[in-house]
A and B are shown apart, each in its own frame.
Chain A
Amino acid sequence: MPKPEILHVGIDLGTSRSAISASNGERFVVDSFVGWPVDMVAKKVLKRNVLIGHDAVANRTMLDLHRPLERGLLKEGSEKDVEAVRELLRHLLGLVGVSTNGKVAPGSVRAVVGVPAAALRTNKQYLRNTMKGIVDSLMIVSEPFAVAYGLDALLHTLIIDIGAGTSDFCVMKGRYPTEEDQRTLTIAGDSIDTHLLQLMEERFPQANVTVFMVRDWKEKNSFVGEPKQRVTVTAPVKGVPTELDITNEIRAACETLLAPTIETMLDLLSRVEPEFQERVRNNIILSGGGGLIRGLPQALEDALKQVGGGRVTYMEDPVFVGSDGGLALANDAPESDWEKLSA
């Protein structure tokens, strides 16, 4: 009997988007939304039992929509959210070719999943329990560690991974990061959305705007510092599509990220052994969706001037950097370790 094909995957299970990179070369990213038709009519129209990702967001009016992750962690206490995250994981694995009747069965999948740096052990246990039966073996690591591993940035490097739910910081010192080496802030993409929505409601009280709309605007136009051009969007005001200039609002919302990010970065740098501080300052890597905020690397470099200057490198492919790191870990882990980590 032929030996079943083993598939290694790295998964970045994100609050807003989840990415998967597989050893068969496939890579996908989906919005972390799962929805079930609210009634028979919706089911007939949608012709599916469950919708995931962009489809779920686009058809949300007909769905019982769930976003099963909060601050980078699985929501606890709701069976529907547990089921949603299991559907999301099955969907991600299905995209890279895993299915019960396909070439790769769930029993042949070895997964590395990234979680926020400050995730507690109970959070990890909960994730492990949730993934039972979906993969064969599972390793859970801190997301910035996965990023560092994938980039070979293992020594004298500071990783800043700004996602939707959390901003994770990790100083790599050539060892598995301890709690002293890592920080997690809950000021991240979602908090920018909330703030932007609030500012929009204050400035344009007649406009009808949802968090999905502001998220979309932010992803296309986010910036800090001086604007290169005015940001205008179209939104219904008293039912009439109207062009709104939201340059100042986008900037104000995005800049809420600056102070805590800079403070945390400088705080972590100050805890590095003095002889290595300069090397770490010049080796700061910005990843995650937050890396797409225009002007952010420059703003961080400006802040570094007060401690002697430094260099912030922005990842060209921030969406997959976490899942690619997870895949690198999965590929490198020896067979004997995977046997111990069965899910």
Chain B
Amino acid sequence: MKAEKIDRVRRRLLAEAVADNLATIQGLPPRALRTQRRLLQTWLRRAPLVLVPLMFVAFMRVEGRGSRVEAIAIETRPPAEASIIESPRSTNSQTLRSNRDTQRAALGALETPLAPVTTAAFPLSVRRVVLDAGHGGSDPGATRLALIEKHVTLDIGDRLRRKLEANGFEVVVTRSEDETVPLRERARLANASRADIFVSIHVNALLKHTAAHGVETYYLGPTNDPALTNLAATENRGSGYSLADMRKLLDGVYADARRDESRELAGAVQKHLHDGLSTAAPGLENWGVKRAPFVVLVATDMPAVLAEVGCISNEREAAMLTRPEYRQRIADALYAGISSYASANDAPQKKGT
């Protein structure tokens, strides 16, 4: 490379290094994320230019078709009141009144304090499941002698996939072999597949508490526990996001319905995981459902959980994890949890049919 070109490249790299440091000082997210934010902000700024004319056209169409508004009004009223309006064809005054009623109702709704969205309003069934076998490739995860987390999670994931498919679920896996798949790529894959839920499989390692063995399930949420923060930082290593970036990202996520659904899913998975394994692993502790900001939980669009299905640091449990029948038992327990959550979501639909 010519000296002049080297100097030019050096100057540019130096400027970029300084810019990166300034971004860190200012607490800005990584560059890739800022681009996305800028796109979102641009979209939000320009959205009214598109949405306002569309709303105006829609309003004019409603004005011209009072009977359609009336029909909507009938559907939203109690049955007795609806039957009064239903019999005669609409007059202009009735149309006007029903329009005003509708508008008043809409304004009233705006004035009412916002309540959390309950997912019971959306009785959707779970059909497509993303299974994420933790670690892989150059990232071995936790290890104990010849036992490596990436192999254990892949095997359990494969067993769970077969079980889910045999029972009518569609399954998307983030990895099907021992390969390196970055965390962001896993989340991207899950979002692109438009799956209903996301289940990430991991194995715990508590190097300072080797006698401890238990199971726990995480869903997305803030935590004040330094141990969980460290765990999330370890699992998120290589994602390109810091925990500070995550917290900013999460501001808008923690309060939504997805978190509640994730908690439900985590509860179902944790219950079945502990119930299903405690007979084979006496003394297995139930460490419960916990919140932590793992990247795969933040960046996925659907209810998402991360299950720590065992403790590789515990000698006895590590020995059990080497046995295929125990890994099958874990897969069965995870299936039971997913199935239980899916059944609960299907319930309102089934009642109505």
Contact = CB atoms under 8 A, between A and B. Distances in A.
A179 B240 contact: yes
Contact of B21 (A120, A187, A341): A341
A329 B13 CA distance: 10
A333 B240 CA distance: 25
A128 B25 CA distance: 9
Interface string A299-343: 000000000000000000000000000000100110001001100
Interface stretch (A38-46, A85-93, A259-267): A259-267
Contacts of A175: 12-13, 16
A25 interface: no
Interface stretch (A9-17, A52-60, A139-147): A139-147
**Interface SS, B side:** helix
B336 to A, nearest CB: 34
Interface string B226-242: 10001001001111111
A120 B140 CA distance: 20
Contact of A77 (B14, B17, B226): B226
B30 interface: yes
A184 interface: yes
B242 A123 contact: yes
A184 B137 CA distance: 13
Contacts of A340: 18, 22
Interface string B320-347: 0000000000000000000000000000
B237 A120 contact: yes
B138 interface: yes
A184 B11 CA distance: 26
Nearest to B243: A122
Contact of A178 (B31, B140, B180, B236): B31
A184 B240 CA distance: 12
A267 B14 contact: no
Q: Tell which of A76, A121, A185, A264 has the most Cβ of chain B within 10 Å.
A: A121
A337 B237 CA distance: 29
A260 B150 CA distance: 13
Given A128-B25, A263-B180, A264-B138, A145 B9 contact: no
Contacts of A154: 1, 6, 9-10, 13
Interface of A: 76-77, 118, 120-125, 128, 138-141, 145, 149, 152, 154-155, 174-176, 178-179, 183-185, 187, 260, 263-264, 267, 329, 332-333, 337, 340-341
Given A121-B244, A176-B17, A184-B237, 12 more contacts: A121-B24, A122-B243, A125-B244, A138-B21, A154-B6, A174-B9, A175-B13, A179-B30, A183-B138, A184-B238, A340-B22, A341-B18
17 contacts: A76-B230, A77-B226, A121-B245, A124-B24, A152-B10, A155-B1, A176-B19, A179-B32, A179-B240, A185-B138, A263-B180, A264-B180, A332-B14, A333-B14, A337-B14, A340-B18, A341-B25
Interface of B: 1, 6, 9-22, 24-25, 27, 30-32, 137-140, 180, 226, 230, 233, 236-245
In the A-B complex, list the 4 residue pairs whose CB atoms are closest, starting with the nearest. Answer: A176-B16, A121-B242, A179-B240, A120-B242
